[in-house]
Amino acid sequence: MARTIKTIETKSAEDSIKNSNGIGDQFNKMFQSNNDVKVGLAALAGYKTAISAAKELIKYKKLTGSPETIEFFEN
């Protein structure tokens, strides 16, 4: 069964984090059902991208000092 790839738009770092985490979740769900190692690695890559983006956002916020809070920590 062929699946189509949908385009994801990101306008901010928070969007990128949310989308990457969502991709990791989707691949994780697929991995849980079929135990395919390649799918598991794809899930880990999605989570890694989300973590890397969050780290860079924290660094940026620390350097600029604006705003005082980071939105994804509040949710």
Mean pLDDT of 58-69: 77
Q: Please give the pLDDT value at position 74.
A: 67
Q: Taking a C-beta distance cutoff of 8 angstroms, is the pair 6, 39 a contact?
A: no
Q: Please give the pLDDT value at position 72.
A: 62
Cβ-count burial 26-57 (b if 16+ within 10 Å, e if not): ebbeebeeeeeeebbebbeebbebbeebbeeb
Kindly report, residue by residue over 11-44, the tens digit of the pLDDT: 888 888 999 999 999 999 999 999 999 999 999 9
Tokens of 29: 């769900």
| One-letter amino acid for residue 28 of the chain | N
